[in-house]
Amino acid sequence: MKIGILALQGAFAEHEKMLDALGAEVFQIRQRSDLDRGFDGFVIPGGESTVQGKLLRELGMFDDLKDVIRNGLPVFGTCAGLLLLAKNIENDDREHLGLMNITAVRNAYGRQLGSFAVAAEFADIGEIPMTFIRAPYIKKAGRDVRILARVGGRIVAARQDNMLVTAFHPELTQSTAVHEYFLNMVRSVQSKALRDV
Ligand code: GLN
């Protein structure tokens, strides 16, 4: 299974390590031509959504990436990746890829609680460790969005069709469960594609 990781900025190396340990073939996406290599899934890492959004446009990758995700490529966005996928960001007038039917709040936990770790339930998985770094949360989840985890009443993980997002960083914990969940999503899209042949 081939997974591309957006490697323009942020915490991509940690995702790479985890997916590699789970047996995926991982490669970094750094320029427009990298998008032409065939892959089965895509990861948008944490970092700075503003910087990543700007680089995506400057490198001419923005529209093509948006198209492949809209066409069903499984994608996993963590933290800044969640903000890049969100249709709305309440406290930011930028819209990035704008594909997922959620309203996110950016840097939502204030200065004091900028970074913290908790353990909480994740749907179909159970309790897992969650590390938050200047994280967003999801204030509104629209139709077709399944809520997968909440912390303190706030939505911190969700899925809509081929898009999985977490406000926290599973790649910075010891648990590989969320990455396994994502790889299962990729597998189910692959087997559906086979059935459609
Ligand atoms: N605060 C960052 C942003 O707004 C996200 C933080 C992260 O990805 N760890 O993009």
**What is the tens place of the pLDDT at every residue in 90-146?**
999 888 999 999 999 999 887 666 789 999 999 999 999 999 999 999 999 998 999
Alpha carbon of 21 to those of 9, 104, 144, 179, 188: distances in Å?
22, 31, 32, 10, 20
pLDDT, tens digit (0-9, with 9 covering 90-100), for 18-67: 999 999 999 999 999 999 988 999 999 999 999 999 999 999 999 999 99
Q: pTM of the full predicted structure?
A: 0.96
Neighbouring residues of 182: CB distance < 8 A, sequence distance ≥ 6: 41, 43, 74, 76, 164
Distance CA 185, CA 41 (A): 9
Q: 164 C-alpha vs ligand 1 centroid, how far in Å?
A: 16
Q: Are strands 41-44 and 75-78 parallel, antiparallel or unpaired?
A: parallel
Q: Which residues' Cβ are closer than 6 Å to ligand 1?
A: 46-49, 79-80, 83, 106-107, 133-135
Choice from 48, 76, 111, 132 to test ligand 1 binding pocket (greatest atom count within 8 A of CB): 48
Active centre residues (catalytic): 79, 169, 171
DSSP characters for 131-194? EEES--EEEEE-TTPEEEEEETTEEEEEEETTEEEESS-GGGSS--HHHHHHHHHHHHHHHHHH
Domains of the chain (ranges; CATH) run 2-196 (3.40.50.880)
> Per-residue pLDDT averaged across 175-191, rounded?
94
Nearest atom, ligand 1, residue 107 CA: 1
Q: 156 C-alpha vs ligand 1 centroid, how far in Å?
A: 13
